[in-house]
Amino acid sequence: GSFEIIIRRRPSSLPSLRLCREGLTTVSQVSVKAGESISIPCLYDSQYETYLKYLCKGYYYRECTYAVKTNQPGQSGKYSISDDKKQRIFTVTIKKLNADQDSHYWCAVEIPGIWKDVRVYFHLSVTRGKNP
């Protein structure tokens, strides 16, 4: 299948995909201008349809912190998340990015009962907009 990267302004080049061998896929790198917002699609296998999904921020997964979870979607905050179970895509939105925004994130699926959740890394590059 195919999907569309939804951003306020298109990056200069199309992002490539990063595939997690456990059945989770997202963009590997994407760029956005400071002050704008971006939505990142995370595609998952049908086996994860009913599981909790979340966005984690930080370079190392073991040290990352929860930004938003599907059981606490946080629609009014800086981060939001939605899960389309029919298309098997959960989408994370990061609003009003700062030029110094932490740029390392993980799309993840919580696997009950085991230590290792399924996750895939993406890098978000925030650029400073040109002065008018």
Query: Would you kindly state where each structural domain of the chain is located, as residue ranges?
Result: 17-126
Question: By three-state DSSP, how is residue 62 classified?
Answer: helix
Q: How high is the pLDDT of residue 73?
A: 73
Range 17-126 classified under CATH 1.20.58.480: no
Q: Helix-strand-coil percent breakdown of the chain, rounded to 5? A: 5, 45, 50
Predicted local confidence at residue 102, as pLDDT: 56
Across the chain, mean pLDDT equals 80
Q: By percentage, how much of the chain surpasses pLDDT 90? A: 39
Amino acid at 7: I
Residue with tokens 């349809």: 49
pLDDT in tens, 23-81: 888 888 888 888 888 999 999 999 999 999 999 999 998 889 999 999 987 766 889 99
